[in-house]
Structure formats: C-alpha cells, structure tokens
Amino acid sequence: QRPIWGNADGGTSYGRRVSERKCEEYSKAVVEKVPYIPLIPNPEPFTVSAAKCDYTGVELIVGGENANPGEFPHMAAVGWATFEGTYKFSCGGSLISPRFVVTAGHCIRDPSAQNPEPVIVRLGDQNIDSNVYDGANPIDVAIRRIHKHPDYRPPKVYNDIALLELVSDVKFRTEIRPACLWFQQDLRGHEKVIATGWGVVDTRTKQSAKELQKVSLSVLDEGFCNETLKFFFNRNWPDGFQPTQMCAGELSGGKDTCQGDSGSPLQVVSKDNSCIFHVVGVTSFGRNCADKGRPAVYTRVASYVDWIESVVWPGE
C-alpha cells in the first residue's frame, strides 16, 4: 500500500500524496488573477484565474521540431566533465523539486567520460552549445548525490530510473520550473504524449540536436508492443514488458526518441493548467530510432512515485 502523508492545513490535504500537493503548489505559481467586469448595469468587478506561460499546445510535426524558448521549463541536461575542461551532455532529465532531477538509471554512469558519473545539471537552456547565443540564461548546478533505484541492476533495463540530488535549491523563474509527477497507473484519456530532448535527430549520421526538440507520440498498448518487440528480447530484457514500463511511438515511423534523449521526460499537459506538465515516463531504450513499427520503451513514473517521494520529500 502506498504511503500517505497529511499536513496541518485544516485537513484540506488529508489523504492526498505529497507529490500531488507539491503539484498544486507549482500550479499556483503560474496562475495570475485577471480583473473581469461583466457587461451589465452596475456590475461588480471580480477576477478570474488564467495560466501564464508560453506553452501553445500546437500539434507537433512529424519527426519533431525545435521547442519554443521556455516551453519546457523543467527540462534538464545532464552533464559529464570532459578531458578538455568542458561538459558533455549525454542525457536529459526533469526538474521535479528545487533540489531534485529525475532521470534514467543508465544515465548515472558513462565509462568513456573523465569521471564516469555525471557532475552537473544544466537548467533553463535552449541550445546546449555554449558558443551559440539563443537568448537563454541557463544555470549549471553541481550534483551532490546520485540516488539509484534500489532494484536497478544494469545492464538489465528494468527499474531504469534515478534521482539526481543537487548541491543547492534552485530558485524558480519563468524558464526554470518543476514538473509534476503522474501518479496514476493509467493515463486517464491521454492518447498522445510529448517527448523532449537533445538526442539524435539524424539516425544515419548520428547527429544530435543542440536545440531542444519536441515530438508528439502515441501511447501504445503494452501487449501490442510486447508482441512487436519480442524479437528484440535479450538477456538485458529477458521478460519483455513489465507493468513498470510503458510504450510510445508512431507505427508509421519517423517519430521517436533516440540516443541522447535517455532520461528525458515523456509528458502530458495538465488538463487544469496548460502551464503545468506531468512526467509520465522516462526515456529508457528503443531499437532502430524512428523505424516503422519500432516504438520505444519508457520507465513508467507512476510505478515509482512511492520511492521518489521517500527520497525527495521524506516525512512530508
């Protein structure tokens, strides 16, 4: 049974999980009061609440496109120190609190790097090439500690999730804000999800994106995906799909998450506030990026909310 925490606010939050309450806090921060006067004689003015952010909700094109500046303010780039004294960004992640980023378990180690463990998280960026001026004002925050899920056993791909604890709290602003966690096992009517990342954009040349990309994907039935991908089962994925995983892609091909998108979020927009995203999945692995009939596999965030809450908000 999942843990439930209450708080002393008169009981209005009793019975709700801590991540749900945090999501409410995040949502209130991006709502503004707009004065409204009805067109009637002797009206009494009142206010209405309206979301204030740059997300447009425009349908995304085939193959993905550049994200708008500040459109995904929770998006994080996970960086490794290079021998040249710079950073190499090989994974993505999602800011979920002032101090924590959620990413993939396999993103906590890169044997080819100077230090196998990632050392920083970059937030608020659009183009991760430091030589390109894109108007963004990103920040680099050092990683204090890496929390690997206790059941993640690489190279197996199950329980592929981790938390990056930062050295200090991040100060939220328009371009840097946390996402909410999706805690329901089903997606409650969401048939499309949005994937974001700085991963491979040309599968032939393996060229990766410097500009943050977004792509709209269909949520696919796990049983169907299990059958579709069964020829790719191996010793690292011996039992096929588990309830802790989910599947998304386009069966016609051309749209997918690829290398470098690992750890990046699969997300839906809140139906109550278009400025708030819920992270439903973490990019885990795929076969032959964007090939026809080859969807990708994601870690299902809802399966790990108990663990995430225990690390990020212990005792709340």
Cα distance between residue 248 and residue 245, in whole Å: 10
Q: What residues are annotated to the active site?
A: 106, 160, 262
Cα distance between residue 210 and residue 224, in whole Å: 34
Q: Which residue, 176, 178, 81, 66, is CA-closest to 127? A: 66
